[in-house]
Amino acid sequence: MALRGERFIAAAVRALRPRRHDARIGEQAARYWSASDGDGSWESNSHWRDGIGDEAFEEVGRDHWEMYQRFARALGVQTPGTVIEWGAGGGANAAAFAPRAQRFIAADISPDNLAECSRQVKAVCDTPLDIRRIDLADPDAAADGLRHACDTFLCLYVIEVTTGVDAVRTILGIAQRVLRPGGMAFVQMKYHTGDGRTRGRPGLAYTRNLALTTTFTIEEFWQLADECGLAPQLITLVPRNRLDGRYAYYALIKPDTADDPR
């Protein structure tokens, strides 16, 4: 009995101890997204105009704007108002949304991405632009001063490259806090199916697993959003586009009576 008890205690201690591979993957992600690798793949993965080409760049922004409009019309949302994009990349979405917004806030890990996103926005409109640098060690800091300040929260082509469910929960929690009551989060994730090869692999080397790090079933993400204080309303699936496949887009509304869950 004593030996069994010792084993139980040892197992409990291991469970409470942060897993080394989690920290390692987080460090790899922060290092990868912080600066260009110089070979062009980083710009492509960040969806820069020079990285994916003019046609794809325009298509990304146009398709997402049109999808947002369909959701907004169905939910009675009039305008995007003040928009924050979490993971703005090279500005493909910003260039499509900012001209229709009252204010646009671009948040990203990379200073290079923020500079490029700013350049793309300023090339198409004079909407007031704010940039926020995300520190993966303290992502909440990038949203300082924005509680209930935003009408629209965008997070597109980001969830699948996060380091796991906890990171996604943090993003959804930030969305819940920055949105005003009744505001919309327009969020995309990559879904997995019954085929095990489509599941996320957060424990593998980050750069070799980039766009398949974190995935969910349709129901799992729906439930996670609800747990984070965002009420799922609508969903659209895109099984395949020119960039990749198995994309699920959600319209999440912050309830008028919502309290901060944290």
Residue 160 φ then ψ, to 5° = -70, -20
Q: Which pLDDT score, from 0 to 100, does residue 18 have?
A: 43
Range 149-165 average pLDDT: 95
Contact 229, 254 (CB under 8 A): yes
Q: Is residue 28 part of a domain?
A: no
Q: Is residue 155 part of a domain?
A: yes
CATH code (residue 183): 3.40.50.150
Q: Which pLDDT score, from 0 to 100, does residue 176 have?
A: 98
Q: Is residue 259 part of a domain?
A: no
Q: Is residue 63 part of a domain?
A: yes
Q: Is residue 136 part of a domain?
A: yes
Q: Is residue 217 part of a domain?
A: yes
Contact 151, 180 (CB under 8 A): yes
Number of Cα atoms under 13 Å in the Cβ half of residue 1: 0
Q: What is the pLDDT of residues 74-130, one digit of tens each?
A: 999 999 999 999 999 999 999 999 999 999 999 999 999 999 999 999 999 999 999
> Considering its fold, how many domains does the chain have in total?
1
How far, in Å, CA of 83 to CA of 153, rounded? 6
Q: Which pLDDT score, from 0 to 100, does residue 100 have?
A: 98
How far, in Å, CA of 163 to CA of 139, rounded? 13
Predicted confidence band of residue 50 (pLDDT cuts 50, 70, 90): very high
Range 15-43 average pLDDT: 69
Q: Which range, 33-42, 210-219, 235-244, has the best average confidence (pLDDT)?
A: 235-244
How far, in Å, CA of 127 to CA of 99, rounded? 6
Q: Is residue 139 part of a domain?
A: yes
Q: Is residue 182 part of a domain?
A: yes
How far, in Å, CA of 181 to CA of 42, rounded? 36
Q: If you average pLDDT over every residue of the chain, what do you get?
A: 88
Report in angstroms the alpha-carbon separations of 213 from 12, 33, 191, 216, 252.
Answer: 27, 14, 11, 10, 23
- Full domain range(s) for residue 246: 39-253
Global pTM reads 0.87
